[in-house]
Amino acid sequence: MENEFDHLPPELDAALQRLVDKATDAAGKEKARELICREAAIWTQVQAMLEEERSGARQRPAFDALWIAIRGEVRRTIRAALLRKDDDEVDEVEQRTAIEVLRKLREYSIERGSFLIWVRGIARNLARWSRSPIVPEVEKDVPLVPDQDRRLPPSRCFNELLSWVQQKDVRQAIVFLLHEYLGWSLGRIAALGDRTVADLAELTVSQITEEVAGLKEPERLFARLRLQAEALGKTTLADLYGIETPESALSHWSGDVKRWMKKGVIGGGGKLLKCVSQLRAGAHERLTFLWSRFLRRSLQDLCYSAERTLDSLLTEFRSQFPQFSDLEQSEVERCTEPLCKDIVPRKTLAQCSRNNLAEDLVVWRERVQDMVSANCADGITVAYAYLCGALPGIWGPAKGGVA
């Protein structure tokens, strides 16, 4: 009986032998045969597509036909890698995969693996970069907030932020929390002017506890706010307006806290940048984290910069980061000096990778995220949320759960 592997093209026969040699058991050898059998089924189409690429053809009928043949497997790979599997996301990643495959066709060789496995690897990486963060089972009904995949302890961030607010005058703190933190209008707050400050403090605490899912130990957290409010006895909010109109007074109080908070957070941003720059991690790892989290660039975009030197990436970071952080460029340069000293001149990002740059970028970023969580103080944790654009009270209400 004729064996299905008797008439393999030489390239596939050699690929099969390499896979079989690497297999450690019978199951691995059988898997290798399945992979090559599938590759053999599309081999003619792959060769036609590669010839089409070599000829520089503007129309791509061979690529289109091959994509139709493998599309189901590519989409299954994308669905498996995405944490949310709705069709819109799968469609988007599939389209980006096709574009990336076309862009890299000249790099492909059977010596690097079967064509289908190569395409699926690209699809898997793009899906990992695109996927939405995991939402724990107990919080399925909690809407996502920006950058929820970051690794810093969320309760520390919110607790520290709320502790800062309570350092201000109690009336200012209450109005700030209702207006900026919870998104209440000034008119809605003004309508409560006949309520005592103590009553409004209780209302504020209950609203935050109700609307911000996952907040830890609210009784202890708001103890200072309550004590300050109770010390005012039967004083109402309206008693404190002075000569100002209600909405004017409320606007001034809330705005004063917001400006004070922002100033403190910006200072924390400089400390955080210095903290990251001093971490005991590779310069390429720290740069990956800074580009991804502080400049909010996708890892895919960073992967496209593989041939750029580390010092050029740092130079661009130093020029771009001030607009995200409100830090002066001289401050950014001073804070990143420890990182600058660790960069090897003319070394590229690609040269830092031992195998697959796309996968390494994920590992590098997450390693530094864990180190930031372990090494940075609570106040700097708040700065991290600010730099990621997800700080309630400064960049929008805190509804929907802890960041």
Position 86 scores a pLDDT of 64
- Distance, in Å, from the CA atom of 130 to the CA atom of 279, rounded to the nearest integer, reads 27
Dihedral sign (CA 341, 345, 349, 352): negative
> Tell me: domain 10-130, CATH 3.40.1210.10, correct?
no
- Distance, in Å, from the CA atom of 200 to the CA atom of 134, rounded to the nearest integer, reads 36
Position 351 scores a pLDDT of 92
Nearest to 12 by CA among 31, 27, 32, 28: 32
Instruction: Tell me what percent of the chain is helix, strand and coil, each rounded to the nearest 5.
Output: 70, 0, 30
Position 379 scores a pLDDT of 54
Enumerate residue ranges in the chain where pLDDT < 70. Answer: 1-7, 16, 19-20, 22-24, 28, 83-87, 112, 129-160, 212-216, 264-269, 324-326, 373, 375-403
DSSP type of residue 149: T
Position 191 scores a pLDDT of 92
Nearest to 294 by CA among 396, 348, 368, 344: 368
Return the structure tokens found at 344: 């090897």
Contact 163, 157 (CB under 8 A): no
Position 148 scores a pLDDT of 33
DSSP output for 89-125: HHHHHHHHHHHHHHHHGGG--GGG--HHHHHHHHHHH
Return the structure tokens found at 150: 């970051």
Query: What pTM value is reported for the model?
Result: 0.44
Return the structure tokens found at 181: 């933190």
Position 164 scores a pLDDT of 77
Position 389 scores a pLDDT of 45
- Distance, in Å, from the CA atom of 387 to the CA atom of 333, rounded to the nearest integer, reads 17
Identify the three-state secondary structure at position 339. helix
Position 300 scores a pLDDT of 81
Q: Each residue of 259-297: pLDDT tens digit? A: 887 776 666 667 778 888 998 899 999 999 888 877 777
Identify the three-state secondary structure at position 79. helix
Position 287 scores a pLDDT of 93
Q: Each residue of 230-254: pLDDT tens digit? A: 999 999 999 998 888 998 999 999 8
Show me where the domains of the chain are located: 10-130, 140-403
Phi, psi dihedrals of residue 122, rounded to the nearest 5°: -65, -45
Nearest to 207 by CA among 229, 232, 231, 175: 175
Phi-psi region at 280: left, alpha or beta (left = phi > 0; alpha = psi -120 to 50)? beta
Position 392 scores a pLDDT of 44
Phi-psi region at 131: left, alpha or beta (left = phi > 0; alpha = psi -120 to 50)? beta
* CA separation, residue 15 to residues 8, 112, 191, 227, 302 (Å): 10, 9, 76, 74, 31
The separation between the first and the last C-alpha atoms of the chain, rounded to the nearest angstrom, is 64
- Distance, in Å, from the CA atom of 177 to the CA atom of 204, rounded to the nearest integer, reads 7
DSSP type of residue 350: G
Position 212 scores a pLDDT of 65
Phi, psi dihedrals of residue 328, rounded to the nearest 5°: -75, 150
